[in-house]
Structure 1
Amino acid sequence: MKICGACELELPDGSYSVEQRGLRQSIRRCEECVVAGNQLVLMKKGRTRPEGDDCPICQLPLPLDFNQSSFNVCCMMRVCNGCTVAARKRGMWDCPFCRTHTPAEEQTLAMIRKRVAAGDPVAIYFLGQQYHFGTSELEKDMTRAVDLYEHAADLGVKDAHYNLGCLCMRGTEVEKDMDKAFRHYEAAAMCGHVSARHNLGSMESNDGNGDLALQHWKISAKLGHEVSLNKVKTLFMAGLATKADYAAALRGYQGAIEEMTSPDRDQAGEFTPSIINQM
């Protein structure tokens, strides 16, 4: 018995072609779904960014470049640089979202641990990052980092799935495991994680699955991922994607970029991230 990645039914092996039986569950389709052209669940979910990807102040989608936003440990919220600069111009020097006084560096870890103890999924993920990179006065500890990432992933934090996917794919800090990398990227992508979706396209391309790669890159391009757009363009120039594929990806990309743009963000772009953090 195998589960179909389109209808999600557990079906006898005879319900699949020999080719489909050899595929992993997320991209496997039973013969009935193949004939009907039923789309994989992996391709149906995560085609838009979730509300959690919006700046909590201006309600616009956060830029994909993390240098264009900042994370505040007091409220565990990421705020776009446009709103941060706008708040500073109005004389607000505390957290632009919750108005909490910016904690001293030695207080930061205590604040994080308090939220972790309360079961805050984002705080659990964030503490994992501190162990991963050896920041917030913590020594680098990959075992602890992975444990925290896995806990956060179980609680639905898509960034935790993404980081685990990156670790498993690279294999430099944890044991390389491409199957796990696929699973974590897929979980993140279905939650709307743009870079995870792009990476799935790259992995499928490396495995010779050009059609799947194109589908992934079209989705991530339409969510504002420039490298994905360039990948679709490359496929189009090589005759491996249609003009309609590239045109749709380009229109979606331009729309996503427009949604992430505002006068405040344009003005914030005149400053470097370090200057904004010092404001």
Structure 2
Amino acid sequence: MKICGACERELSDDSFSEEERGRRQSSRRCEECVAAGNQLVLMKKGLARSEEDECPICNLPLPLDDNELPSQACCLKRLCHGCNFSAVKRGMWDCPFCRTPTPETDSQVLAMIQKRVDAGDPMAIWNLGSNYRFGEGVEKDVTRAVELYERAAELGVKEAHHNLGVLYDKGADVQENTDKAFRHYEAAAMRGHVPARFNLGCMEFRAENDDLALQHWMIAANLGYQDALNNVKGMFMKGVATKVEYTEALRGYQCAVDEMRSPERDDAKRLRH
């Protein structure tokens, strides 16, 4: 018996083609769903970014290159460079969101995060995991980082799922585990985590599942991920993706990028470069 990733029914093996039987549960479709053109649940969730991915001050989607930056230690909010830049221009050096004085040392940052961890804050647990993963304010301890990421992932933090996916996908400081990488990437992608969606496409491409890779990259491109758009273009040039698919990805990408722009962010970007 196998579960169809589209209709989510448990069906006998002969309800699936030989090719579909060889795929993971989340990526297989029964013959009935294939004939009806029913999409995988994996491809129907995470098609838009969540409110968590918006800057809480300007309410615009955070640029994807900023999305994995550490949160403010005081309130654990992720602020765009534009709002930070605007605050500094006004002479505000404290947190632009909660007005807490900016911590001056790593130990102060760690104390703020630890206080929230002790209170069971999921984002604080994820942040502390990253501290241990990269050795920021604490001695690097990837085993401890994985423990904290897993705890945060259980509490629904998509970034923690993505971090675990990267670790198991790359075999970086942990034993490589493709099944775990897929599972965590999928959990993050279905919650709207764009880099996780892109990485799913890369894993499917390496597994020679071009149809699934293209679907993941189309979704990521429509959410503003440039590497995904580049890969869709590459598949179009090779005749795997159609002109319609590439045009759709290009149009969706540009709309998403426009939504992430603001004069303040443009000013901050110019100053950083």
**TM-score w.r.t. length of structure 2:** 0.96
Cα offset, 1:132, TM superposition? 0.4
Structure 2: which 5+ runs fail to align?
none
Q: 1:148 to 1:40 in 2, by over 3 A?
A: same
* Residue in structure 1 matched with residue 57 of structure 2 by the alignment: 57
CA deviations over 1:110-161 (Å, ceiling 9, x no partner): 111110011100000000000000112x101111000000000111111111
* Residue in structure 2 matched with residue 107 of structure 1 by the alignment: 108
CA distance in 2, matches of 1:186, 1:122: 19
Letter in 1 for 2:201: G
CA distance in 2, matches of 1:96, 1:244: 43
- Provide the aligned C-alpha RMSD in A: 1.5
Structure 1: which 5+ runs fail to align?
274-279
Q: Decide whether the 8 Å contact of 1:68 with 1:80 is kept in 2.
A: no
CA deviations over 1:62-112 (Å, ceiling 9, x no partner): 001128976311000110010111112222221011111112312111111
Runs of 4+ residues deviating >3 angstroms: 67-70
CA distance in 2, matches of 1:269, 1:236: 32
Between the aligned residues of both structures, percent identity stands at 64
CA distance in 1, matches of 2:104, 2:172: 33
CA distance in 1, matches of 2:133, 2:68: 22
Q: Decide whether the 8 Å contact of 1:68 with 1:81 is kept in 2.
A: no
Q: 1:208 to 1:68 in 2, by over 3 A?
A: closer
Q: Decide whether the 8 Å contact of 2:165 with 2:183 is kept in 1.
A: yes
Q: Decide whether the 8 Å contact of 2:200 with 2:213 is kept in 1.
A: yes
Within-5 A mapping of 1:96-135: 96-105=96-105, 106-135=107-136
Q: Decide whether the 8 Å contact of 2:71 with 2:127 is kept in 1.
A: no
Letter in 2 for 1:59: N
CA distance in 2, matches of 1:145, 1:26: 27
Cα offset, 1:54, TM superposition? 0.3
Q: Decide whether the 8 Å contact of 1:63 with 1:69 is kept in 2.
A: no
CA deviations over 1:17-38 (Å, ceiling 9, x no partner): 2222221100011121111110
Q: What is the DSSP-based 3-state SS (H/G/I as helix, E as strand, rest coil) of the residue aligned with 1:101?
A: coil
Q: Decide whether the 8 Å contact of 1:69 with 1:81 is kept in 2.
A: no
Q: 1:70 to 1:79 in 2, by over 3 A?
A: farther
Q: Decide whether the 8 Å contact of 1:185 with 1:197 is kept in 2.
A: yes
Q: What is the DSSP-based 3-state SS (H/G/I as helix, E as strand, rest coil) of the residue aligned with 2:78?
A: strand
Within-5 A mapping of 1:222-233: 222-233=222-233
* Greater alpha carbon shift after TM alignment, 34-43 vs 64-73: 64-73
Q: 1:69 to 1:162 in 2, by over 3 A?
A: closer
Q: 1:16 to 1:146 in 2, by over 3 A?
A: same
Q: Decide whether the 8 Å contact of 2:70 with 2:127 is kept in 1.
A: no
Q: Decide whether the 8 Å contact of 2:221 with 2:252 is kept in 1.
A: yes
CA distance in 1, matches of 2:70, 2:114: 20
* Residue in structure 1 matched with residue 188 of structure 2 by the alignment: 188
